[in-house]
Amino acid sequence: MDNQRNIMVSVCIVTYNHAKYIGECLEHILSQKRDFRIEILIHDDASTDGAQEVILKWQKRYPDIIKPIFRTENQYSRGITNITGAFNIPRAVGKYVAVMDGDDYWCDDHKLEKQVRYMEQHPECVFTFHAAKVEAEHGALVNASLMRPYIGSRVVTPQELVDKAVGIPFASFMLRRDILMPLPEYYFDCPVGDRPLELIAATHGDAYYFDEPMSVYRFGIGGSWTESQMTGDYRRKQELYAERMRKTYEAFDVSTNGRFHVEAVRAADRVKFLTEVNTRNFTEIYKDKNKAFRAELSLHDRFFIGMEYRMPWLYHMLRSIRNGGR
């Protein structure tokens, strides 16, 4: 028990068919420069590609650090969408919780040290995060080489966390464990795992952003949530996603007694707008009520959405050229 209390960071990892990547992920975690203890909590959701065997090899080398759960039945397919909170966070004992997916990795050996040091020195800060590099899979085209939510390291207020136009790399998250106990109901009802953690953090204090790319996000990995959205009836999936996210924001609004009501409503409206962008519903995209959300899009996205809307023939010709005539 004393050893458990001395753990500073619980690193929570979710894997599914990440045999190609989980070894690199673990290697970069274990190579962190630190003067504190960590634990690595892995939940493998019934991988069929040999990922469990890879994890077992690493666990045998680091039995006191790596603590896996191996499923024989896929929990996500049973409707448990937020695996991190369902199975990893409840068994975490560290003062801080870091999260990531098994196909991403950390690229700064001092990542944990930097985040822990800041949070130890600033008890009012409950959440830290940072920029990330983007690594394309199989030559997939990526808009940018860097996920950079803000320009310059700075404090991020609770209101900014709730109503934000930028995505935060999941593998950059570090939160104080005590704010996650217990997790609210809206966490488990949310269709994604990162957003409710940000909302929880907003209810407890300030966050801090490091404008340094300390992790790598792999784009286009098979079996990812993003890829699953692209299969089947994409438009309907996007509609359902927007509906579920609005319910999450409504539940959050109730749980915080309307403290962030304006921000929560705007955040839900933004999600709806972005699904209209994803499905190219130009009638909704160009409504006056969405003018502010359009302005939040990158110049690149605004240009090509406008071209597709006004000159679809030119847009599709350029896209075909870029994709090698496909």
If DSSP states are collapsed to H, E and C, what string results for 228-282? HHHCCCHHHHHHHHHHHHHHHHHHHHHHCCCCCHHHHHHHHHHHHHHHHHHCCCH
Cβ-contact 250, 167 below 8 angstroms? no
Q: In 85-124, where do the E strands start and end?
A: 96-101, 105-106
Residue 225, pLDDT score: 44
Residues comprising the chain, all counted: 326
Cα–Cα–Cα angle for 268, 130, 140, nearest 5°? 75
Q: Which residue has the tokens 């068919």?
A: 17
Residue 146, pLDDT score: 78
Cα–Cα–Cα angle for 205, 28, 46, nearest 5°? 85
| Sequence-ordered list of residues with C-beta below 8 angstroms from that of 216, at least 6 positions apart, any chain | 104, 105, 106, 107, 132, 133, 134, 135, 171
Residue 139, pLDDT score: 44
Residue 224, pLDDT score: 47
Asked whether the bond before 182 is cis by omega within 30 degrees of 0, the reply is yes
Return per-residue pLDDT of the chain as tens, 326 residues. 455 669 999 999 999 999 999 999 999 999 999 999 999 999 999 999 999 999 999 999 999 999 999 999 999 889 888 999 999 999 999 999 999 999 999 999 999 999 999 999 999 999 999 999 998 766 454 655 679 999 999 999 999 999 999 899 999 999 999 999 999 999 999 999 999 999 999 999 999 999 999 999 988 765 444 555 556 689 999 999 999 999 999 999 999 999 999 999 999 999 999 999 999 999 999 999 999 999 999 898 999 999 999 998 887 887 777 666 55
Closest CA to 157 of 124, 195, 194, 111: 124
Cβ-contact 193, 126 below 8 angstroms? no
In the three-class reduction of DSSP (H, G, I as helix; E, B as strand; rest coil), residue 135 is classed as: strand
Q: How many CB atoms lie within 10 A of CB 300?
A: 10
CA distance linking residue 186 with residue 9, whole number of Å: 25
Fold (CATH) for 2-219? Spore Coat Polysaccharide Biosynthesis Protein SpsA; Chain A (3.90.550)
Cβ-contact 84, 12 below 8 angstroms? yes
CA distance linking residue 195 with residue 187, whole number of Å: 8
CA distance linking residue 265 with residue 159, whole number of Å: 12
| Sequence-ordered list of residues with C-beta below 8 angstroms from that of 244, at least 6 positions apart, any chain | 189, 190, 191
In the three-class reduction of DSSP (H, G, I as helix; E, B as strand; rest coil), residue 28 is classed as: helix
- Domain coordinates in residue numbering, the chain: 2-219, 232-322
CA distance linking residue 160 with residue 158, whole number of Å: 5
Cβ-contact 170, 98 below 8 angstroms? no
CA distance linking residue 14 with residue 44, whole number of Å: 6
Burial class (CB in 10 A: 0-12, 13-18, 19+), 303: exposed
User: Which residues are bridge partners to 115 per DSSP?
Assistant: none
Residue 204, pLDDT score: 98
